[in-house]
Amino acid sequence: MNAFMRSILVAGVSVAMGAAPALAEGNLASNRTDLEIKIDTEKLQYSQTVFELETGKYYFLSVTSDGGDEVAWFAPELWRNSWVNQIVANDLEVKAFGIYSLEFDAAGTITVSFVPIRPGEYEFYSPGYEDKGLKGKFVVK
C-alpha cells in the first residue's frame, strides 16, 4: 500500500470513528496560563477547589504547601489525560513520563507544566484529608 492510500485509509477510519484530526500551530508554551493552588495545612483547605481548563492549552500549575504538616497532593486522572512537559522544584527540573503525586515534607512550591489532552472532570485531593476539605476538581473542556 502506498503512502497516498494509507493517508486515505487513516482519514476514513478517523471519520468513521468520529475523530477529528489534531491541528496545532505555533508554540503552545509561549501562551501559557498560570494556575496556583495553596495548601493550608492548618485550616485544611485549598486556595481554589475548581479549575476550568481547555484541551490543547498549555498550563503552568504551581502547588504550594505552607509546611505546617507533611501533605501529599494527588491528581492522577488529570496526569493520565495530559501531556506533562516538566516538573520544577527548587529551580530543579524533572522531565517525567508521568506523575502520580506531589509530596511536601516542608514548605515549598512544585510547579508542573502540562497540556490537557482529554476532556473530563478530574479530582485532586490530599489522601486522608478529603473529608476535611482537601479536595477539588479540574473540569477540562
Question: What is the C-alpha to C-alpha distance for residues 141 and 134, in angstroms, rounded to an integer?
Answer: 23
Non-local (6+) Cβ contacts of 27 within 8 A are: none
Say what the pTM is: 0.77
Helices marked H in 1-141 — which ranges?
Answer: 3-16, 76-80
pLDDT value of residue 78: 95
Judge whether 65 and 107 are in contact, CB under 8 Å: yes
| DSSP label at residue 17 | T
Q: Output the pLDDT for position 35.
A: 97
Please tell me the predicted confidence (pLDDT) of residue 13. 41
Q: What is the pLDDT along the chain (141 residues), one digit of tens a residue?
A: 555 444 444 444 444 445 555 555 666 666 899 999 999 999 999 999 999 999 999 999 999 999 989 999 999 999 999 999 989 988 888 888 788 889 999 999 999 999 999 999 999 999 999 989 899 999 999
Locate 58 and state its grid cell.
498549555
